Chain A
């Protein structure tokens, strides 16, 4: 694809990823050959749609290695999933004076829903601080865990800085105090390992569109022991067992968390996206992205006046940076005109920007389909930007 008469360099994969043909084909096939509402019909089309939807659920289960299919709930995205847990888990398990722990690195989607439940319940939000490199201070986390902690909710990977959090250690420490942990995998699932049983997380959420799937679909994984105790967060069709005006009883898992007509074409598309990732190979993707990160870090670090935010040995292929004396928006505008798509701003993570005393950064988020040549383009583009504003 070309923009401004130049071949596009797409480095905004952290915001969303481009879609492989197989995903487009899968969604198209739903609409053109067997489109019909799921879980309802007696007819053949509905059967086929339902089967494809439930197959997609099974693909998600396998991909994240969940124990049971019932533990996979489709939502609108990672944000929808976190809000569902915040509301539903919050209703059941959080009361006045209780505490929820998040980290300073979180995306607003893993901050605001918890603030809302804290406000409703009179609970308290605790925040794990980060050091100057952008890594969480583990000892401080351990100090925050208290007899009142009801849940820990942290990102697998920081969206703004690309740093991978030590989720296994975080989960282990929480579990030793019987505290469940939610992992926001929005930036993790497409880059890092996402084995929920190996991690032993209690909840894991992610968005389909960030892992080459369609927009409007996401996943909430929850251990049965929690999900079965949590009340539904939305009422409607398909989530019920029996409805009378006196009392309604709810359907079994996962359906009681899937009220109304779900975005099943997108769920089926997500299944195709996961197939695509597996066909390329997660190891191959990981290796390629590691090379891209190493090369980009070296190339950009060599530019005088460029400062990288988030320095850690554990990062995904994302680089957040600022140029001395040049506003991030100016940098982004010039790179755009050079055909390079980056994101500028706070990346919906204002607290972490405040932590570094900056208004935002320029973020180049790469994934396996990017190339070394594109990183060179970015490097040259940044150098040209610096010259223009000198």
Chain B
């Protein structure tokens, strides 16, 4: 599936809910189900500091694709992290760099990714793209 196909699937999955609480119930479930990050990567090097919740993000590059594992101390944040990983993990650097993440807005979670929300999520997206740029540059070199 392409990045946009995954995004469209997520949008469909969320579209059945009218009530905010149901959306958050799903996010909480996604957060609980997020595969654990190797505890060795839960260090300062991989920490994305938010004022309220923190995110750890670790990239793994196999020469072609980047896969991400991540964690957060807040479950709802972890749920959104899980969605971002679904969309952006196991992709080539080019795909990640050019990805337009419209699903966040469509499922009504845009406020969670605004610069005024200090949960570390916006920085996480930026960090994912930065890793992709770094690996792309490395590949070209």
A interface list, Cβ under 8 A from B: 4, 326-330, 332-334, 337-338, 344-346, 359-360, 384, 388-389
Checking B20, B77, B119 against A337 with a beta-carbon cut-off of 8 angstroms, the contacting residue is: B20
User: How many angstroms between the C-alpha atoms of A4 and B24 in the bound complex?
Assistant: 13
B103 to chain A, nearest CB (A): 19
Q: Mark B76-113, 1 if CB is under 8 A from A, else 0.
A: 11000000000000000000000000000000000000
A329 touches B20 (CB 8 A): no
A389 touches B75 (CB 8 A): yes
B25, CB-defined interface residue at 8 Å: yes
Which B residues are in CB contact (< 8 Å) with A328? 52
Closest to B72 in A: A327
Checking B21, B25, B74 against A329 with a beta-carbon cut-off of 8 angstroms, the contacting residue is: B74
B33, CB-defined interface residue at 8 Å: no
B78 to chain A, nearest CB (A): 9
Which A residues are in CB contact (< 8 Å) with B20? 4, 337
A330 touches B51 (CB 8 A): no
Closest to A337 in B: B20
Which B residues are in CB contact (< 8 Å) with A344? 52
B47 to chain A, nearest CB (A): 13
Closest to B25 in A: A388
B24 touches A334 (CB 8 A): yes
Which B residues are in CB contact (< 8 Å) with A329? 52-53, 74, 76-77, 119
B34 to chain A, nearest CB (A): 14
B60, CB-defined interface residue at 8 Å: no
B13, CB-defined interface residue at 8 Å: no
* Known contacts A337-B21, A344-B52, A345-B51: A327-B28 contact under CB 8 Å: no
User: How many angstroms between the C-alpha atoms of A328 and B53 in the bound complex?
Assistant: 9
A360 touches B52 (CB 8 A): yes
Closest to B18 in A: A5
Checking B21, B25, B51, B74 against A327 with a beta-carbon cut-off of 8 angstroms, the contacting residue is: B74
B28 touches A389 (CB 8 A): yes
B24 touches A333 (CB 8 A): yes
- What would 18 A/B residue contacts be, using CB atoms closer than 8 Å? A4-B20, A327-B74, A327-B75, A328-B52, A329-B76, A329-B77, A330-B28, A330-B75, A330-B76, A333-B76, A334-B21, A334-B24, A334-B76, A337-B20, A337-B21, A346-B51, A360-B52, A388-B24
A337 touches B24 (CB 8 A): yes
| B interface residue count range (under 10 / 10 to 19 / 20 to 34 / 35 or more) | 10 to 19
Closest to A346 in B: B51
Q: Which of B1-55 contact A (CB under 8 A)?
A: 20-21, 24-25, 28, 51-53
Closest to A6 in B: B20
B105 to chain A, nearest CB (A): 17
User: How many angstroms between the C-alpha atoms of A48 and B131 in the bound complex?
Assistant: 61
- Which 6 pairs, one residue from A and one from B, show the smallest C-beta to C-beta distance? A327-B74, A329-B74, A337-B20, A329-B53, A329-B52, A330-B74
User: How many angstroms between the C-alpha atoms of A216 and B119 in the bound complex?
Assistant: 27
Closest to A390 in B: B28
User: How many angstroms between the C-alpha atoms of A214 and B53 in the bound complex?
Assistant: 31
Which A residues are in CB contact (< 8 Å) with B25? 388
User: How many angstroms between the C-alpha atoms of A384 and B28 in the bound complex?
Assistant: 13
Checking A4, A334, A345 against B52 with a beta-carbon cut-off of 8 angstroms, the contacting residue is: A345
Q: Mark B124-135, 1 if CB is under 8 A from A, else 0.
A: 000000000000
Closest to A331 in B: B74
User: How many angstroms between the C-alpha atoms of A333 and B28 in the bound complex?
Assistant: 11
B69 to chain A, nearest CB (A): 20
Closest to B77 in A: A329
B32 to chain A, nearest CB (A): 9
User: How many angstroms between the C-alpha atoms of A326 and B28 in the bound complex?
Assistant: 11
B29 to chain A, nearest CB (A): 10
User: How many angstroms between the C-alpha atoms of A329 and B20 in the bound complex?
Assistant: 16
Which B residues are in CB contact (< 8 Å) with A333? 24, 76
A22 to chain B, nearest CB (A): 31
User: How many angstroms between the C-alpha atoms of A244 and B21 in the bound complex?
Assistant: 67
Which A residues are in CB contact (< 8 Å) with B119? 329
Which B residues are in CB contact (< 8 Å) with A338? 21
A214 to chain B, nearest CB (A): 22
User: How many angstroms between the C-alpha atoms of A333 and B25 in the bound complex?
Assistant: 12
B28 to chain A, nearest CB (A): 6
A190 to chain B, nearest CB (A): 26
User: How many angstroms between the C-alpha atoms of A326 and B77 in the bound complex?
Assistant: 12
B72 to chain A, nearest CB (A): 8
User: How many angstroms between the C-alpha atoms of A14 and B75 in the bound complex?
Assistant: 26
Starting from the known contacts A330-B74, A344-B52, A389-B28, 13 additional A-B residue pairs (CB-CB under 8 Å) come to A327-B73, A327-B74, A328-B52, A329-B77, A330-B28, A330-B76, A334-B76, A337-B20, A338-B21, A359-B73, A388-B24, A388-B25, A388-B28
Which A residues are in CB contact (< 8 Å) with B51? 345-346
